[in-house]
Amino acid sequence: MTKTQKPRRAAPPAKKGKRPFLVTAAELLLEIGVEELPYQFIAPALAVLKDSAEQLLNDQRLAFQSSRTLGTPRRLTLVVEGLATQQTSMVKEAMGPSKAVAYDQAGQPTRAAIGFAAGQGVAVQDLQIRQTPKGEYLFAVKQEQGRPANVVLKELLPQLIAKLSFPKAMKWNSTGVRFARPVRWLVALYGGATLPIETAGITAGNRTEGHRVLGSSEGIVVRDYESYLKGLERQGVTPDPQRRRHMIEEQIATLCKKAGFTLNVDGDLLDQAVYTTECPNAIIGSFKPAYLEVPQEILITSMKEHQGFFSLMHKETGQLVPHFIAVTNNRAKDMGLIREGNERVLAARLADAKFFFDEDRKVKLEERTVKLNGIIFHQKLGTLNDKTKRTQDLDEFFAKQLGDSRFVYISSRAAGLANNDIVTAVVGEFPNLQGIMGGEYARHDGEDPKVATAIVERYLPRGMEGPIPQSLEGKLLSFADRLDKIAGFFRVGIVPKGSEDPYALRRDALSIVRILVEGDLSLKLEPALDKAEEILAESNIEKVQLGIAQGPFDFIVERLRYYAGTAGGITRNDVIDAVLTPTNTHALSFKELLERMKALESVTAKPEFDPLIIGFKRAHRLVEKEKDRVVFQPVNPALFQHPSETKLREAWEKNDQLVRHLIAVRKYSKALEAFVSMKPAIDDFFAAVMVNADEPSIRINRLSLLKDIDELFLLFADFSQIVVQGS
Residues in contact with 231: Cβ distance below 8 Å, sequence separation at least 6, in sequence order: 208, 210, 220, 221, 222
Radius of gyration of the chain (CA): 37
Q: Is the pLDDT score of 5 beyond 90?
A: no
pLDDT tens, position by position, 404-448 = 999 999 999 999 999 999 999 999 999 999 999 999 999 999 999
d(CA 54, CA 60): 10
Q: Would the CA dihedral through 703, 704, 710, 713 be positive or negative?
A: negative
Extended beta strands in 575-641, E state: none
Q: Is the pLDDT score of 128 beyond 60?
A: yes
Mean pLDDT of the chain: 93
Q: Is the pLDDT score of 7 beyond 70?
A: no
pLDDT cut 70: percent of the chain above it:
96
Of 121-135, 343-357, 464-478, the one with minimum mean pLDDT is 121-135
Q: Is 383 helix (H, G, I), strand (E, B) or coil?
A: strand
Q: Is the pLDDT score of 18 beyond 60?
A: no
Q: Is 164 helix (H, G, I), strand (E, B) or coil?
A: coil
Please answer whether residues 462 and 435 qualify as being in contact, where contact means their C-beta atoms are separated by less than 8 angstroms: no
For residues 592-613, average pLDDT:
94
d(CA 622, CA 511): 42
User: Residue 128 forms beta bridges with which residues?
Assistant: 139
| pLDDT for 6 | 37
Q: In degrees to the nearest 10, what's the CA dihedral of 531, 537, 543, 549?
A: 20
d(CA 93, CA 696): 65
Residues in contact with 606: Cβ distance below 8 Å, sequence separation at least 6, in sequence order: 676
d(CA 552, CA 578): 21
Closest CA to 314 of 249, 269, 251, 256: 256
Cα 183 to its chain centre, rounded Å, is 31
User: Residue 189 forms beta bridges with which residues?
Assistant: 29, 194
Q: Would the CA dihedral through 636, 638, 640, 642 be positive or negative?
A: positive
| pLDDT for 550 | 79
For residues 146-165, average pLDDT:
94
Residues in contact with 117: Cβ distance below 8 Å, sequence separation at least 6, in sequence order: 109, 123, 124, 126, 127, 140
Q: Is the pLDDT score of 10 beyond 90?
A: no
**Band (23; pLDDT cuts 50, 70, 90):** low
d(CA 209, CA 186): 10
> How would you classify the pairing of strands 310-314 and 75-84?
unpaired
Please answer whether residues 655 and 677 qualify as being in contact, where contact means their C-beta atoms are separated by less than 8 angstroms: yes
Q: Would the CA dihedral through 535, 537, 543, 549 be positive or negative?
A: positive
The pTM (predicted TM-score) of the whole model is 0.80
**Band (627; pLDDT cuts 50, 70, 90):** confident
Q: First-to-last CA distance in the chain?
A: 91
For residues 23-37, average pLDDT:
94
pLDDT tens, position by position, 313-367 = 999 999 999 999 999 999 888 889 999 999 999 999 999 999 999 999 999 999 9
Name the more confident of 264 and 146: 264
Domains delineated in the chain: 25-87+148-234 (3.30.70.260), 93-144 (no CATH), 241-360 (no CATH), 379-569 (1.10.3210), 596-721 (1.10.730)
| pLDDT for 313 | 97
User: Residue 109 forms beta bridges with which residues?
Assistant: 103
pLDDT tens, position by position, 57-116 = 999 999 999 999 999 999 999 999 999 999 888 788 889 999 989 998 888 999 999 999
Residues in contact with 401: Cβ distance below 8 Å, sequence separation at least 6, in sequence order: 523
Q: Is the pLDDT score of 38 beyond 50?
A: yes
**Band (514; pLDDT cuts 50, 70, 90):** very high
For residues 266-277, average pLDDT:
97
Residues in contact with 656: Cβ distance below 8 Å, sequence separation at least 6, in sequence order: 708, 712
| pLDDT for 548 | 66
d(CA 350, CA 264): 18
**Band (498; pLDDT cuts 50, 70, 90):** confident
| pLDDT for 92 | 83
d(CA 560, CA 517): 9
H or E stretch covering 128: strand 128-132
For residues 516-541, average pLDDT:
94
Q: Is the pLDDT score of 725 beyond 80?
A: no
d(CA 165, CA 350): 37
Q: Is the pLDDT score of 129 beyond 60?
A: yes
Exposed/middle/buried for residue 188 (C-beta within 10 Å: 0-12, 13-18, 19+): buried
| pLDDT for 105 | 86
pLDDT cut 90: percent of the chain above it:
84
Distances (CA, A) of 487 to 379, 499, 500, 546: 15, 20, 18, 13
| pLDDT for 549 | 64
Residues in contact with 127: Cβ distance below 8 Å, sequence separation at least 6, in sequence order: 96, 102, 113, 116, 117, 138, 139, 140
Q: Is the pLDDT score of 278 beyond 80?
A: yes
Phi-psi region of 334 (alpha: psi -120 to 50; beta: other; left: phi over 0): beta
| pLDDT for 726 | 56
Instruction: Count Cβ atoms below 10 Å from residue 165 Cβ, excluding itself.
Output: 13
| pLDDT for 378 | 96
For residues 383-395, average pLDDT:
97
Q: Edge-to-edge strands of the sheet including 135-144?
A: 90-98, 135-144, 128-132
User: Residue 93 forms beta bridges with which residues?
Assistant: 141
Please answer whether residues 307 and 346 qualify as being in contact, where contact means their C-beta atoms are separated by less than 8 angstroms: yes
Closest CA to 357 of 418, 306, 424: 424
| pLDDT for 22 | 58
d(CA 660, CA 666): 10
| pLDDT for 144 | 77
Q: Is 294 helix (H, G, I), strand (E, B) or coil?
A: coil
User: Residue 70 forms beta bridges with which residues?
Assistant: 77
